[in-house]
Amino acid sequence: MALMSYKCPNCGGGLQFDPPSGNFKCEFCLSEFTEEEMKRLEEEEARKKARNEAESGKAESAKGQPGGTEGAGEQSGEAESTGDQSGEPESAGDQPGAVVYSCPSCGAEIVTDATTAATFCYYCHNPVVLSGKLSGEFMPDYVLPFSIDKKGATEKFLSWIGKKKFVPKSFYSKDQIEKLSGIYFPYLLYSCQVDGKLNADAEKNRTWTTGNIQFTEHKKYQVERAGCLDVKNLTRNALLKANRELVEGVLPFETEKMLPFQMGYLSGFQAEKRDMDGESFTADAELEVKNYTMEQLKSSISGYTSINVKNSETHIRNARWQYALLPVWVLTSKDRQKDKVYYFAMNGQTGKIWGKLPVDKGKLAGLFLEVFLPVFAILMIGGWFL
């Protein structure tokens, strides 16, 4: 498994994607690189790696020949990669589903689970992208970069939580806020064209009075409607372990702003790999788009007293699933006594907030006493003098 650590060519510090500027910044020397510059750096590193592998192969083939010498090319570059000799991560024996990697910067062990695709080294805080997790069929088609950085996300969180009067202080303590994490969650996007048509009986009723006589007029019509609906990027959570309310509560994203996937956008954030495929959602997605198509056709029929649909038909064309990593800021807290997880989630692009918050019973009791006792006292005084 290859570990990618994007390095600053000026000082060797870790490069991270910076949402406000859309560039890649070094937190040490403050150098800044555009997306085009990062592409060039990656291409140069790929060429260096290919040359090193070729030279290493030649050296290996020369070992068994007279006068052959052992040698290995030393790899250097802005996007470093490393991996164990087998090319596979070690398993963390006492942690089911966990795997261990070595940080390419300091050598510390990084423990992740099977779906983690980008994380941090706990020791040197270097951002690490586990590139092998996002290859082959698991290579995303698109990524929607964060447009809100951690400072902006923290400000929005504090503003939002400040309006919640009964949340325990432990949920928004300084130590807790430090755990606010930017995560690219995997989503599957369904697109298609839907042809729909319907036939309906419609009726117009009109009533009027002339003198002492009331007249009622009934006009009956046969109504037909047909049309084509272009469905783009119907979104489904593609991570089985994810809290569904959390990852779907921040929808929708402005998916028209997605970019072709590049590993560099993950640097400085966490990322998860999908473990579900489109087949898991196809039946549900088809039903949703068909129902929506019929609703749109029905809504186009107006001006009648009553409408009775006799028959309808839908046909889906050019259906496809695409895989995208979309940005979410997440802060969680687990109540071990109740075995409940509380969370704050924010759309990393639009800033939409979703949350499930704990309640401080002490604050609720204080409010009860503050409100109840004065009312009780007033009632008692009123009753005393009656």
Q: Residue 16 — very low, low, confident or very high, per pLDDT cuts 50/70/90? A: confident
Pairing of strands 306-335, 340-347: antiparallel
Contact call for residues 143 and 348 (beta carbons, < 8 A): no
Task: Work out the pLDDT band at 178, boundaries 50, 70, 90.
Answer: confident
Alpha-carbon distances of 128 from 90, 116, 270, rounded to whole Å: 17, 11, 9
Higher pLDDT, 385 or 168: 168
What secondary structure does DSSP assign to 217-265, as a single string?
EEEEEEEEEEEEEEEEEEEEE--TTS-HHHHHHTPPP-GGG-EE--GGG
Q: What are phi and psi of 18, to 5 degrees?
A: -110, 110
Distance CA 128, CA 2 (A): 10
Residue 104 has what pLDDT? 73
Sign of CA dihedral 191, 289, 271, 178: positive
Which pLDDT score is estimated for 18? 86
pLDDT value at residue 246: 87
For residue 95, what pLDDT band results from cuts at 50, 70 and 90?
very low
92: how many CB neighbours lie within 10 A of its CB? 15
348, 146 contact by CB (below 8 A)? yes
Q: What is the pLDDT of residue 125?
A: 65
Strands 181-210 and 270-272, bridge-based pairing: parallel
pLDDT, residue 363, reads 56
Rounded to the nearest 5°, which phi and psi values hold at 112?
A: -135, 175
Instruction: Give the containing element (helix H, strand E) for 150.
Output: helix 150-161
Q: How confident is the model at residue 57 (pLDDT cuts 50, 70, 90)?
A: low
- Name the residue type at position 142: Y
- pLDDT surpassing 90 at residue 3: no
* pLDDT for the residue numbered 202: 94
Instruction: Specify the pLDDT at position 234.
Output: 96
Q: Does residue 139 or residue 135 have the better pLDDT?
A: 139
**Coil/strand/helix, residue 320:** strand
> What's the token pair of residue 289?
């788009």
| Long-range interactions of 201-210: CB distance < 8 A, separation 24+ | 201/307, 201/308, 201/310, 202/301, 202/304, 202/306, 202/307, 202/308, 203/304, 203/305, 203/306, 203/307, 204/303, 204/304, 204/305, 205/305, 205/306
CB neighbours (10 Å) of residue 21? 11
Mean pLDDT check: name the lowest of 29-33, 62-66, 140-144, 295-299.
Answer: 62-66
Residue (of 38, 53, 51, 54) closest to 4 by Cα position: 38
pTM of the model: 0.72
Instruction: Tell me the pLDDT tens digit for each residue of 346-359.
Output: 999 999 999 888 87
Whether 10 has a pLDDT exceeding 50, the answer reads yes
Question: Is 167:197 a contact under the CB 8 Å cutoff?
Answer: no
Q: Which of 31, 27, 34 is nearest to 9 (CA)?
A: 31
Confidence at residue 203, expressed as pLDDT on a 0 to 100 scale: 95
CA distance 386 to 58: 106
Task: Please state, for a pLDDT cut of 90, what percent of the chain lies above it.
Answer: 42
> Which tens digits make up the pLDDT trace of 313-330?
999 999 999 999 999 999
Question: Which of 380 and 128 is assigned the larger pLDDT?
Answer: 128
Q: Please report the pLDDT score of residue 11 as a whole number.
A: 75
pLDDT of res. 294? 95
Structural Rg of the chain based on CA atoms:
30
For the segment 189-244, what is each residue's pLDDT rounded down to a tens digit?
999 999 999 999 999 999 999 989 999 999 999 999 999 999 999 999 999 887 88
- Residue 141: which of 18, 30, 266, 258 has the closest Cα? 258
Per-residue DSSP letters for 165-219?
TTS-GGGGSHHHHTT-EEEEEEEEEEEEEEEEEEEEEEEEEEEEEETTEEEEEEE
Closest CA to 350 of 249, 253, 256: 253
Residues 6+ apart with CB under 8 A from 36: none
Q: Indicate whether 293 pLDDT > 60.
A: yes
pLDDT of residue 80 exceeding 60: no
pLDDT at residue 94 is higher than 50: no
Mean pLDDT over the full length of the chain: 80
85 — pLDDT class (breaks 50, 70, 90): very low
Residue 58: its H or E element? helix 35-62
Q: What is the pLDDT of residue 368?
A: 52
Please state which of the ranges 4-18, 153-167, 276-290 shows the lowest mean pLDDT. 4-18
Rounded CA-CA distance 49/76 in Å is: 9
User: For 82-104, what is the mean pLDDT?
Assistant: 52
